[in-house]
């Protein structure tokens, strides 16, 4: 018998591995089926390596490899991460993180039965929307409110109910495209209404709307340019002017606001962002906006406006297809309570980040750098800018201080370091700009500071040790 054959005879059987103490622990943790699959995969790899001249691996190595594979495969695909990009409402990273109160509300409602559609006072069936409609009306000065599962659904529902088969007039400057390639004209066509464009890309006057009115007109639509800005020789028509014209002719005005900002952004040194309160006060019959952008809550499409109009939406069959679920309702109510109590700046994460002063960020950045330096990682502090993101306040930034790692002091490329940080058990998302890897503490929760520093130390110093070993 050859030495190679002897090596293959040393390989333990599946049953031997499975019946070992470690194997039984894996069965308890991951199930017999998944453990068998992982062990078989490990044995196949071991045989292939042995054919190439490798020695037979010990049973302990095969079991450890199976455990690593199982842990990797069973890790949730959707999981939390650390956002060090400086983009506050980061669409790719889940937009607005929820407040502690909102998370607790979701946990309470989802772990038990609830009065989702049950009127406790009357002891009979109720409406799921009542849990937030009164709050929305109180906060925004609206007659009535309704909530769909996202803002696009809110717009689709509103147009389907109010303008099916009829004309909707909109400025050419407001035919926007939102994330994922979805375009306002496409949503309008899907609703069954007929799009009527007026004005030009940069200038649309009230007279343009007036000229386009016909017996087929159902409403005038205004869409907030929340993710881009046109500057220079421009002119637009206010919601108040549109409402006056529409109401003179017995028509409706709808405002698609997008970002759902309820606070005065100028207070934080940013440009003014239109609010639903302003639209309602200006005479809009219906206003649609997001729950998970500048509102700072869960994904939702919020609709507020005239009671008679909202009642028509609530009765439409499409409403059931786009209705909001109990967990989202719980989180939305908790988020709205923060506004009701005047604590949005201190309790809603995105507003807490927006409100954070540069000197506070500088203090945290200094602590990161000091800790990194003592543990062998060369880092520095740079001035930078955070952005609001999420298709809100385009071009607006907030001053910040960035922690920077220079390419000259990293044992491999910055792209590789960024990749390694992304692939950690808790991923860390950073930015690479030219020859520097940048991290913005503004979008990192303070309780995550230690983990960020530890990750940088491990990835940089381990890479250094590997390089030294390779060179030796």
Residues 57, 134, single domain; the answer is no
Same domain, 343 and 355: no
Give yes or no: residues 141 and 277 share one domain. Answer: yes
Domain around 368 = 82-90+351-471
Please tell me whether residues 310 and 189 are part of one structural domain.
yes
Same domain, 367 and 336: no
Which range is least confidently modeled, 125-134, 337-346, 389-398? Answer: 389-398
Contact 356, 442 (CB under 8 A): yes
**Each residue of 37-56: pLDDT tens digit?**
999 999 999 999 988 888 89
Q: For the stretch 158-174, what's the b/e string if a residue is b when 16 or more beta carbons lie within 10 angstroms of its beta carbon? A: bbbbbbeebbbbbbebb
Rounded to two decimals, the pTM is 0.88
Contact 48, 58 (CB under 8 A): no
Look-up of token digits 């509103």: 158
Tell me which of 302, 320, 347 is where a domain ends. 347
- CATH code (residue 418): 3.90.1150.180
Is 386 in contact with 400 (CB distance < 8 Å)?
yes
Task: Determine which helix (DSSP H) or strand (DSSP E) holds 369, and give its type and residue range.
Answer: helix 358-374
Across 5-24, average pLDDT: 87
- Point out the domain boundary residue: 312, 347, 382: 347
Kindly state the average pLDDT of the residues 271-286: 95
Task: Note the pLDDT tens digit of each residue in 65-77.
Answer: 999 999 989 988 9
Number of structural domains found in the chain: 3
Domain co-membership, 373 together with 421 = yes
State the average pLDDT over residues 191-203: 87
Both 326 and 177 in one domain: the answer is yes
Task: Mark which of 19, 39, 74 sits at the end of a domain.
Answer: 74
Under 8 Å between Cβ of 383 and 401: yes
């Amino acid at each position: 018998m050859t030495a190679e054959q002897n090596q293959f005879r040393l390989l333990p059987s599946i049953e031997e591995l499975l019946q070992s103490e470690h194997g039984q622990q894996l069965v308890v943790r991951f199930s017999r089926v998944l453990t068998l699959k992982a062990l078989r995969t490990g044995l196949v790899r071991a045989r292939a390596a042995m054919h190439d001249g490798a020695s037979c691996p010990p049973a302990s190595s095969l079991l450890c490899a199976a455990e690593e594979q199982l842990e990797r495969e069973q890790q949730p695909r959707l999981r939390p991460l650390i956002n060090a990009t400086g983009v506050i409402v980061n669409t790719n990273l889940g937009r607005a993180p929820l407040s502690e109160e909102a998370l607790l509300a979701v946990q309470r409602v989802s772990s038990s039965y609830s009065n989702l559609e049950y009127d406790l006072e009357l002891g009979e069936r109720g409406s799921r929307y009542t849990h937030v409609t009164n709050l929305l009306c109180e906060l925004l000065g609206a007659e009535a409110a309704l909530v769909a599962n996202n803002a696009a659904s809110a717009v689709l529902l509103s147009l389907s109910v109010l303008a099916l088969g009829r004309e909707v007039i909109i400025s050419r400057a407001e035919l926007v495209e939102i994330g994922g390639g979805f375009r306002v004209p496409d949503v309008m066509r899907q609703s069954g209404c007929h799009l009527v464009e007026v004005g030009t890309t940069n200038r649309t006057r009230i007279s343009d709307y007036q000229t386009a009115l016909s017996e087929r007109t159902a409403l005038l639509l205004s869409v907030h340019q929340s993710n881009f800005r046109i500057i220079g020789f421009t002119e637009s028509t206010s919601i108040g002017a549109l409402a006056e014209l529409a109401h003179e002719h017995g028509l409706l005005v709808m405002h698609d606001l997008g970002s759902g900002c309820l606070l005065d952004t100028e207070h934080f040194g940013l440009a003014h962002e239109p609010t639903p309160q302003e639209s309602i006060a200006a005479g809009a019959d219906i206003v649609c906006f997001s729950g998970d952008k500048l509102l700072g809550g869960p994904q939702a499409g919020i609709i507020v406006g005239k009671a008679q109009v909202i009642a028509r939406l609530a009765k439409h069959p499409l409403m059931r297809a786009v209705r909001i679920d109990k967990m989202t309702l719980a989180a939305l109510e908790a988020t709205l309570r923060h506004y009701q109590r005047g604590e949005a700046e201190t309790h809603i994460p995105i507003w807490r980040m927006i409100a954070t002063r540069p000197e506070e960020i500088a203090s945290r950045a200094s602590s990161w750098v000091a800790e990194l330096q003592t543990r062998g990682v060369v880092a520095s502090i740079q001035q930078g800018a955070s952005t609001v993101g999420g298709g809100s306040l385009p071009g607006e930034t907030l001053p910040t201080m960035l922690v920077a790692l220079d390419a000259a002091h990293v044992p491999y490329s910055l792209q590789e370091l960024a990749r390694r940080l992304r692939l950690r058990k808790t991923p860390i998302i950073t930015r690479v700009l030219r020859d520097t890897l940048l991290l913005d503490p503004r979008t990192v929760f303070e309780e995550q500071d230690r983990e960020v520093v530890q990750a940088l130390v491990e990835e940089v110093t381990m890479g250094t040790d590997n390089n030294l070993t390779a060179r030796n």
